[in-house]
Amino acid sequence: MTDRLARPVRRLALQIGALCVICCLSILSTAGTDGSELRNTPIVKAIQRARGAVVNIRGEKTIVATDHSSPADGGRRVNGMGTGVVIDQRGYILTNFHVVDGVREIYVTTADGRRHVAKLVARDMETDLAIIKIDSAEPLPVAPMGTSADLMPGETVIAVGNAYGYEHTVTRGIISALHREVQVNDSQFYKDLIQTDASINPGNSGGPLLNIEGEMIGINVAVRAGAQGIGFAIPVDKAAEVAVKLLATHNAQNTWVGVESSPNASSAEKGMLVGAVEPDSPADAAGLAAGDVIIAVDDLDVLRPLDFQRAMLERKAGEQLRLKVRRAPDSLELDLTLADLPSRAAPAGQPAWELLGVELKPIPAEDFRKTYQTRYRGGLLVTAVRPHSPADKQGIVPGDALVGMHIWETATLENVAYVLKRSDLVTLSPVKFFILRGDETLYGFLPVVPAKTAQR
């Protein structure tokens, strides 16, 4: 072999040898990490990001006695289970209303294994959503929130929940379809649901449906018993909208702000768009105006209206807040001082008489519990109904107990006044109402009559 031929052969041998060395080092490197990087897939990372904010819910509820059993039996007690998602680090949890409906004691187990007793804060039966609260010594992880505005059929989704009592069960699938409508029974009708083939079983209700980035894009509801590959979830944008209203009602029981939000122009727009400011309110005194966008409250960034309501939780009258506001084309800072609920010149019960034609009287809490075996926490006794009024036309009679209007409970006259004095009342009309009559819960719809045309 000549030197001319030997050189290319030696060069080729050296290249092959170098390649073998690189391959060996690569294999050794992979073996040294036990392949963990290969196994740490996007799905694993998504679950790790959101898992800490998922809680398991258990409780005991009473099943109403049937025609074949004695009413004196009071029904039988069964154990219920479900899932929830932490939306505020102080222990506020979003779940399905049917998970906690009628539950005597709500028990919540957080991701770290600690067990808590929860209380119902607010609920919306129409959308089957509720907020419960636990007291935690440590701040809780909050679920990363995505958007349901840009979902795509076929994209990967992950469901996490308390399936059949097996805590933090993870299943995966794809989005099968959007905008589904599902009739569960005569009283529960879901609109605009996400359909997925990720397994959603009993106990998953109230848990998160995640995208591949670990962001919550829906709240799971188990509605098709025995169906294979068919599950549903409430879109997160709708769930967040309801959560805003529920927290706003809860916050309004303690302090007065005087600001209402409006939907942002797009899901990509950050902040809370101010839709209306109540005259002579703390928001008005601070200089807020309709069209402003609140982007921060003190140190909390406001990415969406839910963040603003979170910033108002557990506040007291007299506290001063620093608001960062975007008022095109400028940015400014405003000082807002929270106030007590205003004492109106008109009695709290007057709007109910003027607009609905019904006279209401508070029912003492102890009397309410003794008289009504119900999930409601309080109500107002109907003492008079004006002839030909909206209440009269809907069949409301003296002796009924008004327990809810739209998504709000009506345990006090102030609760009713809050609903009837909202700036968006016209868009809510007719307002759905709930009454107790004997052992029955009835509902109907009350058209709102302008006060100036109402008869006295």
pLDDT tens digits, 197-216:
999 988 999 999 999 999 99
* Summary count for the chain: helices (H), strands (E): 12, 24
Known active-site residue 136: no
Which CATH fold would you assign to the domain 254-337? Pdz3 Domain (2.30.42)
- Count Cβ atoms below 10 Å from residue 274 Cβ, excluding itself: 21
State the catalytic residue, choosing from 88, 124, 128, 292: 128
- The CATH number of 156-238 is which of 2.40.10.10, 3.40.50.11810, 2.40.50.140, 3.20.20.70? 2.40.10.10
d(CA 106, CA 132): 9
User: Cα Rg for the chain, rounded, in angstroms?
Assistant: 28
- The CATH number of 350-453 is which of 2.30.42.10, 3.40.50.10440, 3.40.640.10, 2.40.30.10? 2.30.42.10
- Asked whether residue 194 carries a pLDDT value surpassing 80, the answer given is yes
d(CA 284, CA 277): 6
Lowest mean pLDDT among 89-98, 143-152, 166-175, 415-424: 415-424
Length of the chain: 456
Average pLDDT rounded to a whole number, residues 219-236? 84
Which residues does 4 contact at the CB level (< 8 Å), separation at least 6? Answer: none
pLDDT of residue 104: 74
pLDDT of residue 298: 96
The pLDDT confidence band at residue 372, using thresholds 50, 70 and 90, is: confident
Task: Give the domain ranges of the chain.
Answer: 48-133, 156-238, 254-337, 350-453
State the catalytic residue, choosing from 148, 205, 261, 389: 205
CATH superfamily membership of 48-133: Trypsin-like serine proteases (2.40.10.10)
- Asked whether residue 105 carries a pLDDT value surpassing 70, the answer given is yes
Structural contact between residues 124 and 130, judged by C-beta atoms closer than 8 angstroms: yes
Cα 135 to its chain centre, rounded Å, is: 18
Known active-site residue 205: yes
- Asked whether residue 275 carries a pLDDT value surpassing 80, the answer given is yes
User: What's the whole-model pTM score?
Assistant: 0.72
Residue 235 identity: P
State the catalytic residue, choosing from 98, 116, 250, 406: 98
pLDDT of residue 68: 37
Known active-site residue 98: yes
Nearest 5 degrees, angle CA 199-CA 203-CA 206?
90
Residue 145 identity: M
Instruction: Judge if 48-133 and 254-337 fold alike in CATH terms.
Output: no
Higher pLDDT, 445 or 282: 282
